[in-house]
Structure 1
Amino acid sequence: MKNKKFIYLLGLLVLIVWGMVIYRIFVAVGDSPEPLTTSVTKIKEPYDDYAIPKDTSHLQSNYRDPFGIVPIKDTTMVSTKKNVPRSIPVAITPGINWTAINYMGYIQNPGSKKLIAIIHINGKEVMMTEGESTEQLKLLKNLRDSIKISYHGQTKFIKPNR
């Protein structure tokens, strides 16, 4: 008799478990507008800045020297005399705008066989031979593939723009 009651009890438990399983399947498959479980939304904590706080402590080195080599100095008295280095004024010369000077090319005089350079300077085209000066620009050497010029006391080689 003991075994019969135990079997009925186990059968009842099996029916309850299967009933719960079947119920959950029907709820999941069915078109129920309300969710079975409600999700708990966690309230976000405010952003905590973990930056290093500004150091407000001051080092006081008025303790005695542990080795006894240096005598004790009073660091609480601050010297008001400061050594300020004097600056020497330097004359700054403005830079030369070399982009305003363009070497356009050259032509050759058929009679004298001299090379004449065509130079575009500050919006004007100028034709110059070696040794000529125009608007503080002096043509020092014409090498066909480049020219050597002196402008405001500085010399530079300029190649033609292509």
Structure 2
Amino acid sequence: MKNKKSTYLLGAAVLIVWSLIIYRVFSAVNDSGSDEPVMTAPAKKEAYNDYALPPDTTHLLANYSDPFGSIQPVDTIRHLHEPRPPVQIKPHTTVPAMSWDFIRYVGYIRNPDSKKLVAMVHLNGTELMMSEGDLNGSLKLIKNYRDSIRVSYQGKTKFILLKPATP
């Protein structure tokens, strides 16, 4: 019984709402011939200008002594037209790059007693057996890796990769 009453009550509310909507639509359509507008647009308001600069009312009083009085002002116009001495350009001497092709790392062997690596190096066609720290002429073996060696020759250092000997 309670459900029936609420259903009738809600149905009546729906009918009232729809009838008001339909009445508004028809009244707006039928009143289109009159001179008075149905709704008037609000007048545009001028935007508030936050960025307006207030007038400057301060005055600068420059009646104090120069704090840097020891430095005299320099006349820059007179110094602009003074001739400058010519610039001497020194020729750049380039040192030719050193070719490391005369040194080849062809392999290594392991000393069974000391377990150290001994590098086999070709220097100008002569085969040398060198371990780390050895010095042969001006060639010094700094570090021996399995795939390369680090050598010092005439004060320059370089890594030389492993290249097997060609017959």
TM-score higher than 0.5:
no
| Structure possessing the higher radius of gyration over alpha carbons | 2
TM-score (ref. length: structure 2):
0.43
